[in-house]
Amino acid sequence: MNEYQSEQWDALLQARRLLTRISVEEAARLKKQIRPYLEFRDRVEQFLDTHFGTHCTRSCYTNRRSACCSKDGIIVFWADVVINLLCSDEAQLTDMEQALRKPFHEHKCTYLGAQGCRWRVRPLVCAMFLCDPVRETVFQAQSGVEAQWKRLQERAQAFRWPDKPVLFDYLETYFMELGGRSSLMHINSSPGLLRIKRQAGLCSPQSRQKP
């Protein structure tokens, strides 16, 4: 287990442990809280399947050339971990844990298995990644697709960019109040993101608001 895998392992186990501290009713409330995000992610997947699925499978996954899935260090936010936990069953989580225990492979992501990505809800950075060659090919061939993609990118920022109450910050702060501390809590540890929060008046103890 390398440093990246250890970081992911710690976040996964810590989030699982913290979720056991909350009631069934509270867990249900969190699931309701993330529903708009999951609906957005469904729209993203439909868009990608329609316009990019064939291109991406052929040019990256099959040939192992992806600029994303061939890397061990994808950027994962704490909210990505929590959302995935809330949507996964025990078998899926066990599969993720087993993958993190395996030795590092230079040519593929830790989470990439024979059946594809092991995440039930992939990290947002993965879902919103499109390489330049494929983007150029699709955008030039299909009118209006680029404009649709830009709207989806703007919507993605509305869940993560902390210049107002957003879901990703809400989930980080919620679990910090439960005692959680993780290097994946980027919104509350990154100097740049903290500066944005301060400018928006969201850094006080009373500032946690539902997005």
Instruction: Output phi, psi for 113, to 5 deg.
Output: -115, -175
Q: What is the pLDDT of residue 39?
A: 98
Average pLDDT of the segment spanning 35-50: 94
Average pLDDT, the chain: 86
Coil, strand or helix: which one is 184?
coil
Residue 26 has pLDDT above 60, yes or no: yes
Question: Regarding predicted confidence, which is higher, 209 or 189?
Answer: 189
Percent with pLDDT over 70 in the chain:
84
Tens of pLDDT, residues 104-152: 666 677 888 777 788 999 999 989 988 777 778 888 877 888 999 999 9
In terms of Cα–Cα distance, which of 200, 139, 144 is closest to 169? 200
Average pLDDT of the segment spanning 93-101: 90
Q: What is the pLDDT of residue 52?
A: 76
Are 187 and 168 within 8 A, CB to CB?
yes
- Rounded Cα distance, 64 and 68, in Å: 10
Quick one: which H or E segment has residue 116?
strand 116-117
Are 168 and 75 within 8 A, CB to CB?
no
Are 83 and 123 within 8 A, CB to CB?
no
Question: Regarding predicted confidence, which is higher, 130 or 53?
Answer: 130
pTM of the entire structure? 0.88
Average pLDDT of the segment spanning 54-59: 59
The amino acid occupying position 47 is: F
Average pLDDT of the segment spanning 11-15: 95
Categorize the per-residue pLDDT at 2 as very low, low, confident or very high, splitting at 50, 70 and 90: confident
Give pairs for 26-35: CB < 8 Å, separation 24+. 27/86, 30/82, 30/86, 30/171, 30/174, 31/86, 33/167, 33/170, 33/210, 34/83, 34/86, 34/167
Categorize the per-residue pLDDT at 206 as very low, low, confident or very high, splitting at 50, 70 and 90: very low
Least confident range of 5-19, 37-51, 94-108, 178-192:
94-108
